[in-house]
Amino acid sequence: MAVRRLSPNQPKEPFEFSEENLAWAKEQLKKFPEGREQSAVIPFLWRAQNQNGGHVTQPIINYLADMLNMAEIRVYEVATFYTMFNLAPVGEHLVQVCTTTPCWLRGSDEIVKVCKSKIAEKQQTLSEDGKFSWMEVECLGACANAPMIQIGDDYFEDLDEKSMEEILDRLAKGEEVKPGSQTGRTSSEPVGELTSLTDPEVIQGGAK
């Protein structure tokens, strides 16, 4: 993880929540007693980031600080603390590659290699067509299906070089991709056949 700072290029125009998000925000604020609005800063930053195409900007920080009655530096602290918040523009498809030990043992280096060749040599930079960017992340909690990545809100699991390339190619063409395991198994069931709980009676007996 590197030093996280706001991107040097910041939009001049102020940020505002969309109508839908503003309605949501007003509803959320009712949950907090007066003077404690700042507790809502994380979900608000998250909404704002999504509305803004995936990254947090200085106008967003100023807007939320004002809305939540807190100092700008306090919003900035939160935005720089959590890696969920991107501080520089990201691609429409943000590829987050898990490189923590289980994924790494199962070949995340290959996945990173594909990202480097297909998206950009350096992480957190936009691809040439501007549609992609990638970044290494810490464990995303799907170790049973390692190696895995997250694109947008979806997990893509049981990857190898080939399936990774295919996903990126399909996304680049604007085609549908199927989230989840890319080898066809259901969630995190065993890769081959069942090795335990093979006796249906045991299962049914357990259902009694």
Partner 1 sequence: MPTATVDGIEVEFELGATVLQVCELAGKEIPRFCYHERLSVAGNCRMCLVQIEGGPPKPAASCAMPCAPDMKIHTDTPMVKKAREGVLEFLLINHPLDCPICDQGGECDLQDQAMAYGVDHTRFEENKRAVDDKNMGPLIKTIMTRCIHCTRCVRFSTEIAGVTDMGLAGRGENAEITTYLEKALDSELSGNVIDLCPVGALTSRPYAFTARPWELRKTESIDVMDAVGSNIRIDARGREVMRVLPRLHEDINEEWISDKTRYIWDGLKRQRLDKPYVKKDGKLQPVSWDEAFDAIAARLKGVDGKKIAAIAGDLADTEAMYALKGLMANLGSANLDCRQNGSSLGGERSSYLFNTTIAGIEEADAILLIGTNPRTEAPLINARIRKRWLEGGLKVANIGPVADLTYDVAQLGAGPETLSTVASGASDFAKVLKGAERPMLIIGQGALARADGAAILAEAAKVAETTGMVKDGWNGFNVLHTAAATVAGLDLGFVPGQVGKGTRDILTGAMGGEIEVVYLLGADEIDTGALDKAFVIYQGSHGDAGAHAADVILPGAAYTEKNALWVSTEGRVQAGRRAVFAPGDAKEDWAILRALSAQLGKTLPYDSLGELRTKLFADHPHMAELDTVQTGASLDLSKVGKAGEMDGSAFRLAISDFYLTNPIARASAIMAECSALFDGRRQEEAAG
Would you tell me which residues interact with partner 1 (CB under 8 A)? Answer: 1-5, 58, 71-74, 76-77, 80-81
Minimal distance, residue 136 CB to partner 1, in Å: 15
Give the nearer residue to partner 1 in terms of CB position, either 70 or 144. 70
Minimal distance, residue 65 CB to partner 1, in Å: 9
Give the nearer residue to partner 1 in terms of CB position, either 3 or 194. 3
Minimal distance, residue 7 CB to partner 1, in Å: 13
Minimal distance, residue 170 CB to partner 1, in Å: 36
Give the nearer residue to partner 1 in terms of CB position, either 8 or 184. 8
Give the nearer residue to partner 1 in terms of CB position, either 15 or 155. 15
Which tokens is 15 given?
């940020």
Query: What is the DSSP track for the chain?
Result: -------S---SSPP---HHHHHHHHHHHTTS-TT-GGGGHHHHHHHHHHHTTS---HHHHHHHHHHTT--HHHHHHHHHH-TTS-SS---SEEEEEE-SHHHHHTTHHHHHHHHHHHT-SSTTS--TTSSEEEEEES--S-GGG-S-EEETTEEEES--HHHHHHHHHHHHHT-----EESSS--TT--SSS--SS--HHHHHHHH-
Minimal distance, residue 71 CB to partner 1, in Å: 3
Minimal distance, residue 61 CB to partner 1, in Å: 8
Give the nearer residue to partner 1 in terms of CB position, either 32 or 81. 81
Q: Which of 61, 8, 59, 68 is nearest to 38 (CA)?
A: 68
Provide the residue type at 193 as one letter: E
Give the nearer residue to partner 1 in terms of CB position, either 1 or 197. 1
